[in-house]
Amino acid sequence: MVFQILFSGVVFYFINKVFSLKNLFNPLVFILIFHFIFFYVGLFYKDMYSHVKIESFTSFLINYSFISILTGGILSRYMMQKFRPYVRFPIVNASLLINNKTTIVGFMFLILGLLCTLNYIISAGGMIIFMEDVENTRIITRKGKGLTIQLAINFFTYGLLTILMIKSSTPFKLLFLTIVCFFVLSFGNRGPALFLMVFALYIYQSVNKVEFSLKKIAIYGFVLFCLMVLFGSLRTNYEADLLSLFKARFAWRPFVNIQNFQFVIDYFPSKHDYLYGYTYIVDLLMLTPGSHPNSGTYLKDLMGLQFDGGSITPSYLGMSYVNFGVIGLIFSPLLLGFISNTFYEVYVAKRNLNKPYNLILLILISFNFASIVSSGIMTVLVQNISVLALVHFLFIILIKLLKKVT
């Protein structure tokens, strides 16, 4: 454990030195924080779970990937510094008036998000967060409704973040934040609602030209993580003593991706040959008509895993290993780090961040890049980025139509 703490401390020192830990607008920083929380912290207490043995080779690969993502980002920064200085935190002039065309579209998106949510609630027979078996009900009712849920969350996010840019009182904004988070929670997912709060914090900082200290951001993040764990325990009606609750909920979430990564290392290639890109085809098939499993569900069935929940989250490392073996493990974190920072620097240089929809798109893409850590790149591209692109272009089209009408 001492090595893990010292190693992660050195990595975070260089992240902050080169890129600024506070800049979650940069996908690289978001990825590295996600990687630490959901794919590294679990190594500190891996021996607490006796049902799976995390091998030394697995621990080495996770350590390698952590430093490799950072290395890819630093290589990108070294190349980009020849063209432009690094923006450690984007400060913009994006405050809106209540009657601004962008503001009107923001309210329209909130209504669209509400309509999608009502469609889901009606089909589910009510708000599942108030049902007895929330976890299993959530899994059952989501079948065939993935697009509706993604659209609702993206509509709500664009609408809410636009409203937060209006020159108005803080209570007014907090009211909208609370209402939207409540409706997002109605899908039974805690993550989107909690990250909405993170997005709101960062939009507030950027638009109001303030930067919170790392200490404040760390406290805020810890509180949100605790809320996520608490909601998870309520979602499954978990009743146990405090130690068991800590092990089953608080400590489990950072460990589960490490466990799943170990599972795929144990299974491939000793029990099944590498898949050579087949999981990416499985995810792409989700874009075609009909009901199709994602790659996580496909792997769960292939490996014969039995547990409550829709699919396994093998992580981007697991997906790389399942498809291409050790070669995939070597290059995937380097590429992820290089591409994520390059995207940020080019986007900030080429896009006008004073336009609210460009700033919103940046923070959402940054978050989706970070989601790759748990879900893998193709799952995020197909299920998240494709819907985000659709919603973003609709936002711009509606603004242009309003300008023509008026």
> Which of 68-72, 120-124, 170-174 has the highest mean predicted lDDT (pLDDT)?
68-72
Per the listing, tokens 């990825």 go with 31
Q: What number of H helices and E strands is found in the chain?
A: 17, 0
DSSP 297-320: HHHHHHTT---SSS----HHHHHH
Per-residue tokens: 2:
């001492």
Identify residue 348 by its one-letter amino acid code.
V
Mean of the pLDDT values across residues 36-54? 90
**Which DSSP letter does residue 400 get?**
H
The rounded percent of the chain whose pLDDT value lies above 70 is 88
DSSP 332-347: HHHHHHHHHHHHHHHH
pLDDT at 2 over 90: no
CA distance 298 to 304: 10
Which residue, 217, 227, 254, is CA-closest to 24? 217
pLDDT at 82: 84
Per-residue tokens: 395:
């936002």
Mean of the pLDDT values across residues 74-78? 96
pLDDT at 254: 86
Mean of the pLDDT values across residues 48-59? 91
Give tens-digit pLDDT for 295-351: 998 999 999 988 766 688 888 999 999 999 999 999 999 999 999 999 999 999 999
Mean of the pLDDT values across residues 142-154? 84
Higher pLDDT, 135 or 317: 317
pLDDT at 195 over 70: yes
pLDDT at 222 over 80: no
Q: How confident is the model at residue 186 (pLDDT cuts 50, 70, 90)?
A: confident
Mean of the pLDDT values across residues 32-49? 91
Q: Are 363 and 25 contacting, i.e. CB atoms less than 8 angstroms apart?
A: yes
CA distance 171 to 212: 20
pLDDT at 141: 65
Range with the poorest average pLDDT among 9-13, 151-155, 242-246, 378-382: 242-246
pLDDT at 132: 64
Alpha helix ranges (H) inside 186-213: 191-207
Q: What is the overall mean pLDDT for the chain?
A: 86
| DSSP H/E element including 22 | none
pLDDT at 266: 95
